[in-house]
Amino acid sequence: MPEHASCDLKIRPATAEDSEAIFGLVAGLIEDHLPGQAPWTSIERIRADRFGPDPLFEALIALRNDTPVGCVSFFRGYAGWRGRPMGIVHALYVAPQERRTGAARMLMAAVARIALERGWIRVELFVEEGRPAIRFYEAIGMRDLHHRHMRLEGEALETLASEA
């Protein structure tokens, strides 16, 4: 880990003023996964969805020298078989120049602390097959459940909904 690693890194809850930084970090995540793809969201959408009257997610920001270098977004879910709340990480992103500095670990540690404080039974996330991030998630103690991540959207969503 580089010497400047986590000693001058701070993690804090995102505020409405961080909406632009969150958008920039989300754009970086999209670029990592789908080079050339423009973000499907906007600063205004992030502000409304996180800081509006009915927040859809929470976010933590990693700052080095007051500059945002990473973020994690998550929300509460429900572990039906256990009858307990759980956390679901939607996105974790650290700027390329900040990788391997402890930023991602500190962001996930902060989510883990929130989960325990709130009585959540676990934290889950989905990661694409073959992504280098899998090694990181395993290194922090997450285990691969070998479940398939299924999605219903677009025309298929509309077709199925028309049957109700």
In tens, the pLDDT along 62-84 reads 999 999 999 999 999 999 888 99
Topology of domain 6-161, CATH: Aminopeptidase (3.40.630)
The answer to whether 60 and 108 are in contact (CB under 8 A) is no
The percent of residues above 70 in pLDDT, for the chain, comes to 96
Under a CB-based contact definition with an 8 Å cutoff, are residues 106 and 135 in contact? no
Q: Report helix, strand or coil for 47.
A: helix
Q: What is the pLDDT of residue 36?
A: 84
125 close to 89: Cβ distance less than 8 angstroms: yes
Q: Which residues contact 41 (CB under 8 A, 6 or more apart)?
A: 23, 26
Split at pLDDT 50, 70, 90, the class of 138 is very high
- Is residue 142 over pLDDT 90? yes
pTM for this predicted structure = 0.87
* Residue 99 near residue 56 (C-beta atoms within 8 A): no
Higher pLDDT, 155 or 132: 155
Residue 5 pLDDT exceeds 60: no
**How distant is the alpha carbon of residue 63 from its chain centre?**
16
CA distances (Å), origin 117, targets 122, 127, 137: 12, 25, 21
- What's the mean pLDDT in 27-47? 85
Residues whose CB is less than 8 angstroms from the CB of residue 128 and which lie 6 or more positions away in sequence, other chains included: 33
Q: pLDDT above 90 covers what percent of the chain?
A: 70
